[in-house]
Amino acid sequence: MKHNRSLHAVFSLVLSIVLGGLLLAGCGSTTTTGSSGGGSTGGATSCGSPPKLTKSTGLKIGFSQNISNSPWRLAENKSMSDGAVAAKDILTMTDAGGQDAKQVSDIQSLISQKVDVLIIAPLTETGEVSAILAAKKACIPVFLVDRDADHTLAKPGQDYVTFVGSDFVKQAQLVAAEMIKASNGKGKIIELEGTSGATPAILRKQGFDNAIKAQPGMQIVASQDANFDRDTARQKMQTLLQAHPDVTMVYAANDEMAQGAIAALKAAGKVPGKDVLVGSIDGETAGLQSIISGEQLVSVTSNPRLGALAFQAISDYASGKSVPIWVVQPDKTYTKDNAQANLANGF
């Protein structure tokens, strides 16, 4: 909502200042950190599957972000910038504004700039596959972070090095477990899903729906895509509440959508936390505060600070150590028992 718009406005402003500077400087970077380094060795066709990384310091790293519209994404961006500074690499960051086509062209531009490594947070599982394969062809190793690609189209350990991110099915199962416990297995649920085609949207739905199917007293009365976005969720929830005024639970696939749902519930005269239990994922500050105030039951973390794991994987790969095809970011459950104590871990 307002919060999102102002964040977006700040980001757009920063982006225009940086882009303006770049136009003047005549180069393509949007974020530059660390010391200077050389270009890619590129060109060769026998560079490995996935392509090998022969240098380990002063790397030119391209980071393709899918959108920067929420506290989660801003925390992830900062974590990548911090990771680059710590590794003394140079990070060039792009923002696709939530469009697959823009993200493909961003990645193509980073390939033309001959980055040594690509870190990609793909918007959807299929939308960026062509660009991931193009990077391989250009001998640039790719590390996917926060969202994965469709393994039937691009394979980890072959077409890209690894996926660094959370276990989304498990996150959803943990939310379901808290909701089942708090309601004694009884309830009518509205489900707000994330961006269609994105790994966390697909797997968080799968994990939650399967857990609820096993509960004879619980029923998902409506499911809708609210794009992981607060205001979209508020509007969808407003309409859904008219069709399902007897709803007793909301499962939102991220905290931003839970915030939108809470606003809609209040506007409809319902008391979140009493009339309707709300559960979601991320562990952002707003979610933690809603748990503390009693309006939200649970938030399972989805840690956006993936920079340390991503840069460790890059360094391991450069030094020839084996990197697993999935570097799992561990997560935990926040409820009223530990939300206050973890408030400083929010974002």
- Binding site residues, ligand GYE, CB under 6 A: 70, 72, 146-147, 200, 228, 254, 256, 281-282, 302
* Distance of closest approach, residue 125 Cβ to ligand GYE, in angstroms: 11
Q: Look-up: residue for tokens 């297995």?
A: 185
- For residue 36, what are the CA distances in angstroms to 89, 123, 247? 7, 29, 56
Nearer to ligand GYE, 42 or 98 (CB): 98
Paired tokens of 97: 């504004």
Q: How far is the CB of 256 from ligand GYE (least distance, A)?
A: 6
Site of tokens 């690609």: 149
Pick between residue 40 and residue 302 the one whose CB is nearest to ligand GYE: 302
- Name the minimum Å distance from CB 72 to ligand GYE: 4
Nearer to ligand GYE, 29 or 302 (CB): 302
Q: Are 248 and 276 in contact (CB under 8 A)?
A: yes
- Taking the least distance from each CB to ligand GYE, the nearer of 281 and 314 is 281
Q: How far is the CB of 181 from ligand GYE (least distance, A)?
A: 23
The residue (of 200 and 307) whose beta carbon lies closer to ligand GYE is 200
Can you tell me the distance from the alpha carbon of 263 to that of 284, in angstroms, rounded to the nearest whole number?
16
Give the separation between CA 89 and CA 35, rounded to whole angstroms. Answer: 6
Contact 284, 304 (CB under 8 A): no
Q: Measured between alpha carbons, how far is 72 from 51 in angstroms, rounded to an integer?
A: 30
Closer residue to ligand GYE (CB): 317 or 347: 347
CA distance 107 to 65: 10
Residue 115 Cβ vs ligand GYE, minimum distance, rounded to whole Å? 22
Residue with tokens 């938030």, as numbered in its chain? 299
Tokens read off for 309: 């794991």
Q: Name the minimum Å distance from CB 113 to ligand GYE.
A: 25
- Cα–Cα distances in Å, from 215 out to 207, 219, 253, 300? 13, 8, 20, 20
